[in-house]
Structure formats: C-alpha cells, structure tokens
Amino acid sequence: MGQVAAIIGGGVIGGGWAARFALNGWAVRVFDPDPEASRKIGEVLENARRSLPGLGNVALPQEGVISFHPTVAEAVAGAAWVQESVPERLESKQKVYAEIMAHVGDETIVGSSTSGYKPSELQAGQPRAEQIVVTHPFNPVYLLPLVELVTTPINHDVLIARAKDILTTLGMFPLHLKHEIDAHVADRFLEAVWREALWLVKDGIATTEEIDNAIRYGFGLRWAQMGLFETYRIAGGEAGMRHFISQFGPALQWPWTKLMDVPELTDELIDMIAEQSDAQSGHYSIRELERIRDANLVSKIRGLYRTDWGAGAIQRKHDRVIETAAGLKRHVDELDDLSQPVLTAHRAVPLEWLDYNGHMTESRYLEAFADATDRFMLMIGCDEQYIAHGGSYFTAETHIRHIDEAHAGAIIIIRTQVLQGEGKKMHLFHEMREGTRLVATGEHFLLHVSLESRRSEPPAPHVEAALIKVAEAHAALPRPEGAGQSIGAKT
C-alpha cells in the first residue's frame, strides 16, 4: 500500500495497531517514551505475524517497516493516518493532540483509541479539529475487525469516507457512530456485564472461572456470530422478535440484575477476584494466553469465513481487497501471459493447518489444492452464478506428492497447468512452492456435470471456450515432473 501510519503510544492497543498497519503493508512510525516500547511492540508483532496472515485465504502484502522516533513531530510528519493510544487521561490526550496537530498535514486522519472519551472532548480547542475522530478498536487489534468510528458534525463527509475506506483495507469493520456518547456502544455492553459479574463474585454466587464458563460455553458462542438482536429474533421462533419481546419483556421488571449499582471495590473483593483469577489461569504466562487466544480467534473467524457470516464475511471482503495486488485474477481474460502456469493461490499457512509434527498436515495439502482448483474454475467462468444454474466440475481422481515441509506462516504459492481441457474433461497439475522451493504437487482430473441429473455433460460454451484457451496456451509447456505417476515405493 505504501502509506505511512504514525502510532502515538505503544502499549497493548498501540502495539496492536502497529501490527495491523505493518502487516497490511504500511510503513509505521512509533512514538512512545517508554524505553521498553521497542521490545513490547516487537513481542506483539511476533504474535501477530504468527496468527494474522493465516486468517484469510490470500497472503497479505509485503510487511511494512516499523520505526521508532524520539518526538511526536518526527513520527507524524507525512503520515496519512495518526493513531493516538496514550493512557486514558483527557488532559494528557489534549496535550498530545496539540503537538500532533501542529505537525500533521491537512489531509491526515487523526484517530483516537479512547474507550471512553467523546470525540468532541478530544477536538476541543484544537486547530483543524475536523481531522480528529475516535477510532476505538478491540484487543487484539490485529485480529478483531471491529473499530468504532465516532464522529461529530464538524467531521466532513470526505474525511469520514476516507477513514472508512482505510480501515476497510486493513481488514476492519468501521462501525460509524454518528451520535457520540460516553464509552461509545460496545464498551457500554461490556461494562454492564462486568458490573453484574462483580456482584456475582462478591455475593459468592459464582467464581471468576464459573462466570467465564457461562459465557464461553453458552451465549458467547451465539453472540460471536449473530450478536444480540439476531440471536433473540431466533429465540422468538417463527413469530420472530415481536413474540420474543412480548414473552420475555416482563422479565425486565424483575430483580434479576444489579446493573444500576456497583459493588465497592474493597481490598477484600479485589483480593478475592485476583486469587480466583490466579487459580483459574495463573499457570499460563501472558504471552501464552495471548497465543492461545489468537489461535482460538483465528479458528473461529475462519469457521465463519466458510459460511460468509459475521467476522468471517469481513475477512472474505479483505481477501478480495488484497488478492488483486497479489496477482490473483478472477477471469482468464485478465491474464497478461497465458503461456505459463496460472497463479491460483497466494496464501499463508494458518495455525490450524499444523499437525502434531509441527508442519502442514496431509489433508490441508488437499484443501489448498482444492481451493486452487476452485480459483481456476472461477477463472474460466464456473462461478457461483454458473453453479447456481446447474453446472459444475466434480473431481474424479487426485494424486498428491508431499515433497517438503510447510510450517505456520509460510507463504505458499500455487501455480496451475492445464494438461487437458476440452469437452467434459479438465486435467490440472498444481505446483505448490514456498519461494523457489517445491513443497508439493497435486494432479486432479475433473468432469463437468449437471447438478440436476448428477451425470457428466459438456460445459456451457463460454466455460469450455475459456478452458480450451488456457489448455492450448499450456500445450507448449513441458509436461511437469510427476504428472501421471502412481504411488511408487522406493527401495
């Protein structure tokens, strides 16, 4: 992308922003007076490198360089985006903004990670205050897509649109809140749940672990994919939301919660919570917990990716943004050179693809090659619309050769050669490489079928014409090593 982002404040959130920008190709400049800032951000970046590239099915662009600067002025000079993530003290933030605004350009977007302050409070008394918005993320910033974009009437439409566009190209979902309120939207829900949890612990009803189990084994799983209202709409059955509210609405008058009251955080209550939390999770280091969290989040989001739902839909959209830069095409007519094998995959090996030996497991090679086949089918016109009208290709035979190892985070590229393409038949040979190193090959023979009769039949003329076009261009290529081989046991 070639743009510059400045991160002012390199704590947990600032470090997450730095990783999100850098891994999406931005140069990142950091200002943080903490002498440990470089180490801390380096550790956050290492976790992000381990998890984020495997979130999608397209490799991220080349990583941007993160640099550290001694002054705010030096960090923000020439930046297209400045993200402020300093501690939550309004006076301190306003001083930082005065320095930022004295050194940024007229087009720079200045976002704040604040979880509580309203944008009007940050804008007060600042020159060119219309460039300041709230962009409140969620930890880990490099994995979770939600960012609350909170604006005021002085933020003009062009800047807001540009902010949304930049956040979207980072793989995030900008939730635009046009009316400011303390703590925005999401944290108000979290605060309500947190208050109730404190009472449950204080009153001896449940321990910290029991409360966490109630969330992660129950409604937390539903909320992750559908949120609150869509979940309750289903709970209303065929009659929908109106029935749900009429049935359960009276319960709102019952004394089920203490949301309007907060237990006093006495030393006794703090010690109780801390001791329970230590018993629950103290055998893990913070970095271990972060890695477990990241692996779980990647697995959940990738699961939602398959159904094009929730956070998975955001990741799919992000893949579409970056696949063009990676050279992946959606139709053969877009290819400049058909005389060489076609690029059909450019992706990172996700954490979930590893086996007990610490490298990519057998079934995932087939998945990667199947995805490459799907990409090629798309390129010749066998897309979702075509399949919806009853035509597709079925795989009749597959042969995979496992030549070398692939590990988590490795960028693998698959190129596809058409060995035969005419009539009902499509014979593909995939080569998977990491850099120049050959990792595996996959040979696939497919037949075009009618999804109505489930029998083979010729494809539509435009699909066959595109397939023949590639097959004829590839006919001049040498036959790849391993093509047509059966399993051979070496002695």
pLDDT of residue 365: 97
pLDDT of residue 476: 96
Is 476 strand, coil or helix?
Answer: coil
Among the residue ranges 74-78, 121-125, 336-340, 475-479, the one predicted with the least confidence is: 336-340
Q: Which fold has domain 4-177?
A: Rossmann fold (3.40.50)
pLDDT of residue 340: 96
What is the rounded average pLDDT of the residues 173-199? 94
pLDDT digits (tens, 9 = 90+) for 70-103: 999 999 999 999 999 999 999 999 999 999 999 9
Burial class (CB in 10 A: 0-12, 13-18, 19+), 310: buried
What is the rounded average pLDDT of the residues 384-393? 96
CATH code, 186-283: 1.10.1040.10
Cis peptide before 140 (omega within 30 of 0): yes
Give 489's pLDDT tier (boundaries 50, 70, 90): low
pLDDT for 1 beyond 60 = no
pLDDT digits (tens, 9 = 90+) for 402-435: 999 999 999 999 999 999 999 999 999 999 999 9
pLDDT digits (tens, 9 = 90+) for 308-318: 988 899 999 99
CATH code, 327-474: 3.10.129.10
Burial class (CB in 10 A: 0-12, 13-18, 19+), 361: middle
Annotated binding residues: 9-14
pLDDT for 491 beyond 60 = no
Annotated binding residues for NAD(+): 9-14
**Chain mean position to CA 419:** 36
C-alpha count within 13 angstroms, C-beta hemisphere, residue 61 = 23
Query: At 3, phi and psi to the nearest 5?
Result: -100, 170
8-state DSSP, 7: E
pLDDT of residue 23: 97
Q: Give the CA angle between residues 285, 290, 296 to the nearest 5°.
A: 130
User: 263 vs 357, which has greater pLDDT?
Assistant: 357
pLDDT for 379 beyond 70 = yes
Alpha helices in 52-87 (DSSP H): 72-76
pLDDT of residue 230: 86
pLDDT digits (tens, 9 = 90+) for 188-201: 989 999 999 999 99
8-state DSSP, 382: -
pLDDT of residue 490: 60
pLDDT digits (tens, 9 = 90+) for 229-241: 888 888 888 877 7
Q: Hey, where are the domains in the chain?
A: 4-177, 186-283, 327-474
The token duo for 163 is 């902010």
pLDDT of residue 392: 98
Q: Which of 140, 189, 136 is nearest to 163 (CA)?
A: 136
